[in-house]
Structure 1
Amino acid sequence: MKNLFPERGIWSRRPADRWEDALVAGNGSHGVMVYGDPVKDTIIGNHCRLYLPQGNSHEIPDLAPFLTETRAIIATEGYEKAIKFQYEKAKELGYQGLTMSDPFHPGFHLLIGTDHKEFDNYSRCINYQTGELTVSYMVRGRQYERRTFVSHADNRIYHQLSPGNYKLYLKNYKNDKLIQSSFQNQSLLQTNFSYVYGDGGYDVMIRIKSEKLSPIQNRTGFYVESGSNILIEMQIVPYSDTHTREVIKTPLYPIASYHKLFDQHKNIHQEKFKRVELNLVSSEERFKCIDDIILNAKSKNSVCPVLLEKMYDAGRYMYICSAGELSPNLQGIWTGTFEPAWSGDFTFDTNVQLSIASALSSNLLEGMEGFFRLIKELLPGFRENAQKYYGSRGIMAAIHASNTGRHFHWNEDWPLHFWTCGAGWLAHWFYEYYRFTGDQLFLKEEVIPLLKEVVLFYEDFLVEDNDGTYRFTPSYSAENGCADNATQDIAVLKQVLNNLLEAHRILNLHCAKVSQWKRMIAKLPSYKVNEEGALKEWISDKEENYNHRHFSHLYPVFQSREFNENTQPEWWEASRIAFEKRLEAWLLNENGDTTSTHGRMHSALCATQFHMSELVEEIFHLLVKNDCFYTSLMMSHYDNQEVFNVDGNGALPQVIHEMLVDNSNKRLTLLGALPASLPSGEIKGIRLPDQLTVNYLYWNLEEKVIKIEITSEIEQVLEIYLPLFKKARLQDHRMMFKQGKRESLEIYL
């Protein structure tokens, strides 16, 4: 049995009894979920393009003509009256009120029935390294196996059953927004789903390779009987309208063997997974049952190294499975419900950014292509948002998006249309891709045009105060309230403008607007500090609300890295105090307003920058103690496994990278937030901004040594910084890199 258990992965002794706890796999287009029940199993097929049209109006109310009056109301009567005014005007124009985006939905449920009611020696597992799901059990002394993977080689889902008798049939979706038409023919189950409130739909093809197949009456399925392994091939093909529909034709070729198909897939998946490797424990510990590992971890008040290593691997696995054709949505690429929380969509005020947080440092650069494709597909809606809400050129991102980038998710309680910095935050990742890769063609053809559209919006949107300083009005700090000049608005635009200027300098491009962009930076209002010494969330008289899950005003710390304790110590100290206020009122407060995983992840990303190693450890432990993981180690949004969300999975590897090795402001920080419970370990292959690759980093606090080898693709000099080890002995406090050369360093603590 042990050979079935993955070293890099998880295994459990229990089948799933709900879709959230299923085994998961994917290839960036297709996803699959497997319950692993020997008696009545369920396989759910997913596809990244499946968002169910709800029949809602996607028209944006043209509020631009009322912007001047809205601003006057803000100035004289306040935001509450201004929001009420805007909402009433929107309703007069036919606005339907706060509307969720079209929800992410499953493609099909394939049910597999047996008479295996009495079984033992049960296990199910995910091999993160190969992307294979395995279920194994014994019935009357005979071993049965079920193996599943989603092929990176030919974009299909494959499932293999041991020889025997089975009943296979498709679930009939009873959904009034779908029309399902199914039939079976020879070895095929085929279904077309057309959307009632849209021109699109999708086709499903399921092909079964077995010795004997008999149709099931009154169901779309077969009785299957075979003395050899049974292979099932599954495929989902979406279409946006009937003109783009590519009907799946009956394949003329035989299905290859499972092992041949799997080997083709494994070579691709495994290469991606093995680019980066975190080693904290022995192989023997990695083979333990995940149920036992979690139970043991809960009994401690510190990080459990074997579980942390698996959490790290799970985060990278999520991204490999979910990113490709598009980017991970709130649920990655998996769902088993037609009513997911927040539509399971792309939520841009923090969740998408966290889901991709570790993509570049994990050396999964090709996954970012799906993110870039997604944003470019949504740009028409973003342009319409800017025009209709503010009469502006350029782009304004919606907070929620799926089938469209139009912003219609707001009302009086949630004035999300006042949040204007989203497009600039999304542009951060375009510029970061250049920083990691040095791809100047991408910088010229993709980054600069996007940054220009962001700035174009602000050229029309911003107003000037009497002293010539810009005012962001209306302004919203997601999702914590309205007041002029939210700190994140200023921080994001400052980063966008600086990146735009730097891109032109790098490429030696002449642009007549360069002097204008510099003047815009000079006109940005300065950050402010309140009477408690904390960086304010709004540069206005609005009272701070520290009890909140978002950390928007700390954008200069966790995202843009605008300053540190050396470059601008006054802003750094104010940011640190603001962070501590948030910790006291929210994260570490039992009476805090929520338990969101994304809030904990942003806390951890801030903690790595403030070198709070004990806090990093506590956040990891909070996730475990409060049951924020399903068996697959995919995360939940709330405690007690409530709401399947993967943004935490995407962010967690980045937290680990930053606590071990980080590069910003020409400074290489080593073990800057290392928890005490990780006295030794090794990480290989992670990437850093400015074209750096950490070939390996090894640390052993008992031996008092750190060893690191880094390759830089450009010539540069970095300062070495060890904030937790003030007495470290260094021959030189700098590392000097030559282009394409490896540099090694050994530090004694």
Structure 2
Amino acid sequence: MHQLPKRGIWTDQPASKWEDALVSGNGSHGVMVFGDPVHDTVIGNHCRLYLPQGNSYDLPDMAPYLEEMRKIIREQGYEKAISFYYQKAKELGYQGLTMSDPSHPGFHMHIETDHQKYTDYKRSINYETGELSVSYKVNEQSYVRRTFVSQDCNQIIHYLSPGNYTIKLTDYQDPKMSQTSMMDQQTIHTHFDYRYSEAGYDVLVDVIAEGVKPLSKAVGFEINSEKSVQIRMEIVPYKEKSERKIIKQSLSSSEDYPTLFAKHVSIHQEMFERVELTLATDQERQQQIWSLVEQAKQQGKITPVLLEKMYDAGRYMYICSAGELTPNLQGIWTGTFDPPWSGDFTFDTNVELSIAAALSSNLLEGLEGYFGLIKELMPGFRENAQKYYGARGVMAAIHSSNCGKHVHWNQEWPLHLWTCGAGWLAHWYYQYYRFTGDKLFLQHEVVPFLEDIVLFYEDFLIEDTDGPYRFTPSYSAENGAADNATQDIAVANEVLTNLSEAYQILGYPQEKVKKCREMRSKMPAYQVNEDGALKEWLTSEKGENYNHRHFSHLYPVFQSREFNNETDPEMWQAARTAFDKRLEAWLLNEDGDTTSTHGRMHSALCATQFHRHDLIEDIFRLLIDHNCFYSSLMMSHYNEQNVFNVDGNGALPQVVHEMLADFSNGRLTLLGAIPSSLPKGEITGIRLPNQMIINRLKWDTEAKHLELQIISQIDQEVKLYFPLYPEVEEHHQRISLQQNKQVSFVINL
């Protein structure tokens, strides 16, 4: 009755809260299913639903006060300067730190029965197909509930076994929106108008079954059907009332659940199977999820089968959540109108982690939603640059949903001083070109965005008397303010380098290339402190705070790959020392400032570059020991399942890819950070920069054996690097790749 998924999870425990729900999605719609056979709940989500709060998003015109602020920074320090700036903003009508409009659910549909005495309960997610399944028995009669979000018809489809049910929609009664419903035969049409904007959305629920009767005191139906029940649901948002679509009377069609599901699976499964990690047997995979977690806890380390499932869950999250937009803090799911940090797009770490594996996982189409989102927010980004710094170009907000304007700051959290956000977002634009070789995208999307960022730098940066630029004000994400935050310089270095390269690739005039190189040459040099560590602020006035979850100053390591142990050994060692200090004070310190899954993931992305396979083992163990995921394997921001948050899911596949095969600075690193708990396995289909694809990588460290099949879309020569097996490089130093010709070889480790 219940086919347990090989690629997925199952448990015999019902979910008591929405965070522990079964989840699915298609990049526009999301669905969550939780509860028990007596009272089940289906939550419909949509990527466009952000509830206007009626807050002012008018930016104070602070540009006239920038020079005075800079003078106060020079003469009295940042605390006085930020206080001055904040008071001026308040005088101009600024309302103080304001969250973006929060993500919210589209509807709650409750399904009730009299099945109190149920047995043999199971619920599962099949990551390969996107189907959610619930099964149980009542008096030896079997009941099944199945759900998926169609990649074909863009609807939520729910199946119930023949039987008696009551279904009804929750009346949200939220003061910030109105809700009106109409029932017509077997269809519910509910219309939602936002109070503080012209936007809103419609929900249609169509029941295809026998014996359907409307409820007299609620929005819903009684169902008494000797045939299976099919419920089709759709959320249709609009930004303006004039954009509201003509509502169809019914979503029903002659197609049954198997037919609709087959159409969906042909799309979803192809995406999921582009990359495959094999670490376990089918018998191991079919254990229930909490048994696998308990085994890992008892062993004190990640098990291959659990890591395989966490890896699959990360890619599943991205397939479900990316498409029309990009995953927000909660992917595409929420069951509350009050999510932490508004459940929005948070750009100082979280969005970047959620898309970390998009390119290497060969899910390129998911980034279309990311690029589209940035375009939608661009007017606000331009106004941020103009109003705060009197600059042309763009400055990204840290928090965004319906708007790109930056109003999430105050004296305690001066996040408006963090000016490198747009440059970090642009990283994926240039990487998309590097992975695909798409020169049209490079010319029409990458170059204009990079040029806008450089325009901001031209107007914002000042020159010290001894020549270099100075970033003032400057901020290292959520860890303090001082001139010349290292991440500011690192992002600017990457932006200017990428724009210069793009100009040369596209044949732009040499004057443009020269200008980028001149600006790049004026960037402050990285500095090393008395501990031998790369400084987080390149100024003598600011000391280090190692006890912090952000790793912003290690941007040249985990993100831009600006240098490595060969290109700049001295700076590489300084970065490694800075990393070790952060580990000691925060990650591996039980008294660290806060727990944070995103901090652990950035630790892991640094660990792959420093070839710290032992540390990756520790990070995986911390996630398990501190219960940082739900039964779906969607992760939590804090320990003990505290705050549903998916940025860790997005990053984990990238950690796996980098510890197995990683390419930067012309060097292909193989098994560079493979943990001892993964002595053998196989991965297929991962993409690398420079238009390479690893068709197959199979390893067995105990047998000291590695097999590689790699193909390149361009002619190139690649240097091989085996940091954990240095003796191998003596025999395997370089490989020549010819366009579209697979190269295969076997290496004895």
TM-score range (shorter-chain normalised) is: over 0.9
Whole-Å separation in 1 of the counterparts to 2:252 and 2:476: 56
> Which ranges of 4 or more aligned residues in structure 1 deviate by more than 6 Å?
none
Q: 2:192 matched to 1:169?
A: no
Task: State whether residues 729 and 748 of structure 1, in contact with CA within 8 Å, keep that contact through their aligned partners in structure 2.
Answer: no
Q: 2:612 matched to 1:609?
A: no
Whole-Å separation in 2 of the counterparts to 1:364 and 1:45: 24
**Residue equivalent to 1:204:** 203
Offset at 1:177? 0.4
- Letter in structure 2 aligned against 1:427: A
**Residue equivalent to 1:670:** 670
Task: State whether residues 16 and 35 of structure 2, in contact with CA within 8 Å, keep that contact through their aligned partners in structure 1.
Answer: no
Offset at 1:558? 0.1
Distance 1:235 1:382, change over 3 A: same
Whole-Å separation in 2 of the counterparts to 1:91 and 1:512: 43
Task: State whether residues 687 and 694 of structure 1, in contact with CA within 8 Å, keep that contact through their aligned partners in structure 2.
Answer: yes
**Residue equivalent to 2:640:** 640
Task: Encode CA deviations 1:291-319: one digit per residue, 9 max, x unaligned.
Answer: 11111111122221111000000000000
Distance 1:252 1:291, change over 3 A: closer
Q: 2:323 matched to 1:339?
A: no
- Letter in structure 2 aligned against 1:452: E
- Letter in structure 2 aligned against 1:229: S
Task: Encode CA deviations 1:656-707: one digit per residue, 9 max, x unaligned.
Answer: 0000000001111010000001110000000001100000000012221101
Offset at 1:728? 2.7
Whole-Å separation in 1 of the counterparts to 2:733 and 2:254: 60
Moved more, 571-580 or 701-710: 701-710
TM-score by length of 1: 0.99
- The within-5 A match list for 1:399-414 is 399-414=398-413
Unaligned runs of 5+ in 1: none
**Residue equivalent to 2:697:** 697
Q: 2:650 matched to 1:650?
A: yes
Whole-Å separation in 1 of the counterparts to 2:549 and 2:709: 37
Q: 2:716 matched to 1:716?
A: yes
Whole-Å separation in 1 of the counterparts to 2:312 and 2:118: 31
Whole-Å separation in 1 of the counterparts to 2:144 and 2:137: 9
**Residue equivalent to 1:51:** 50
**Residue equivalent to 2:583:** 583
- The within-5 A match list for 1:293-442 is 293-442=292-441
Whole-Å separation in 2 of the counterparts to 1:609 and 1:322: 28
Offset at 1:576? 0.2
Whole-Å separation in 2 of the counterparts to 1:493 and 1:165: 63
Distance 1:167 1:135, change over 3 A: same
Task: State whether residues 161 and 227 of structure 2, in contact with CA within 8 Å, keep that contact through their aligned partners in structure 1.
Answer: yes
Residue 35 of structure 1 aligns to a residue whose secondary structure is strand
Whole-Å separation in 2 of the counterparts to 1:304 and 1:732: 31
Task: Encode CA deviations 1:136-171: one digit per residue, 9 max, x unaligned.
Answer: 000000000000000000100000000000000000
**Residue equivalent to 1:554:** 554
Whole-Å separation in 2 of the counterparts to 1:708 and 1:81: 58
Please, what is the CA RMSD of the aligned residues? 0.9
Whole-Å separation in 2 of the counterparts to 1:255 and 1:74: 70
Offset at 1:731? 3.9
Residue 147 of structure 1 aligns to a residue whose secondary structure is strand
Distance 1:405 1:729, change over 3 A: closer
Whole-Å separation in 2 of the counterparts to 1:75 and 1:157: 58
Whole-Å separation in 1 of the counterparts to 2:485 and 2:543: 12
**Residue equivalent to 1:629:** 629
Residue 741 of structure 1 aligns to a residue whose secondary structure is coil
Task: Encode CA deviations 1:478-499: one digit per residue, 9 max, x unaligned.
Answer: 0100000000000000100010
Residue 703 of structure 2 aligns to a residue whose secondary structure is coil
- Letter in structure 2 aligned against 1:428: H
Q: 2:274 matched to 1:275?
A: yes
Offset at 1:255? 4.3
Task: State whether residues 668 and 720 of structure 2, in contact with CA within 8 Å, keep that contact through their aligned partners in structure 1.
Answer: yes
Whole-Å separation in 2 of the counterparts to 1:111 and 1:540: 58
Distance 1:404 1:252, change over 3 A: closer
Moved more, 572-581 or 31-40: 31-40
Q: 2:72 matched to 1:112?
A: no
- Letter in structure 1 aligned against 2:259: K
**Residue equivalent to 2:260:** 261
Offset at 1:33? 0.1
Task: State whether residues 730 and 748 of structure 1, in contact with CA within 8 Å, keep that contact through their aligned partners in structure 2.
Answer: no
Task: State whether residues 232 and 251 of structure 2, in contact with CA within 8 Å, keep that contact through their aligned partners in structure 1.
Answer: no
Whole-Å separation in 2 of the counterparts to 1:720 and 1:7: 35
- Letter in structure 2 aligned against 1:586: W
Whole-Å separation in 1 of the counterparts to 2:209 and 2:262: 21
Whole-Å separation in 1 of the counterparts to 2:480 and 2:311: 34
Task: Encode CA deviations 1:184-243: one digit per residue, 9 max, x unaligned.
Answer: 110101100100111100000000001111111110000011111100000000010111
- Letter in structure 1 aligned against 2:36: D
Task: State whether residues 192 and 203 of structure 1, in contact with CA within 8 Å, keep that contact through their aligned partners in structure 2.
Answer: yes
Unaligned runs of 5+ in 2: none
TM-score by length of 2: 0.99
Offset at 1:730? 5.9
Distance 1:348 1:185, change over 3 A: same
Whole-Å separation in 2 of the counterparts to 1:241 and 1:260: 35
**Residue equivalent to 1:733:** 733
- Letter in structure 1 aligned against 2:625: K
Offset at 1:515? 2.0
Whole-Å separation in 2 of the counterparts to 1:521 and 1:272: 40
Whole-Å separation in 2 of the counterparts to 1:730 and 1:217: 80
**Residue equivalent to 2:459:** 460
Residue 743 of structure 2 aligns to a residue whose secondary structure is strand
Task: State whether residues 729 and 747 of structure 1, in contact with CA within 8 Å, keep that contact through their aligned partners in structure 2.
Answer: no
**Residue equivalent to 1:136:** 135
- Letter in structure 1 aligned against 2:316: Y
Task: State whether residues 629 and 636 of structure 1, in contact with CA within 8 Å, keep that contact through their aligned partners in structure 2.
Answer: yes
**Residue equivalent to 1:194:** 193
Residue 673 of structure 2 aligns to a residue whose secondary structure is coil
Whole-Å separation in 1 of the counterparts to 2:48 and 2:550: 29
Task: State whether residues 212 and 224 of structure 1, in contact with CA within 8 Å, keep that contact through their aligned partners in structure 2.
Answer: yes
Q: 2:707 matched to 1:707?
A: yes
Offset at 1:36? 4.5
Residue 745 of structure 1 aligns to a residue whose secondary structure is strand
Whole-Å separation in 2 of the counterparts to 1:728 and 1:417: 49
- Letter in structure 1 aligned against 2:34: Y
**Residue equivalent to 1:18:** 17
Whole-Å separation in 2 of the counterparts to 1:648 and 1:729: 34
Whole-Å separation in 2 of the counterparts to 1:227 and 1:737: 62
Whole-Å separation in 2 of the counterparts to 1:195 and 1:423: 30
Whole-Å separation in 2 of the counterparts to 1:281 and 1:139: 35
Task: State whether residues 209 and 255 of structure 1, in contact with CA within 8 Å, keep that contact through their aligned partners in structure 2.
Answer: no
**Residue equivalent to 2:519:** 520
Whole-Å separation in 2 of the counterparts to 1:702 and 1:348: 42
Task: State whether residues 169 and 219 of structure 2, in contact with CA within 8 Å, keep that contact through their aligned partners in structure 1.
Answer: yes
Whole-Å separation in 2 of the counterparts to 1:216 and 1:371: 42
Offset at 1:511? 5.9
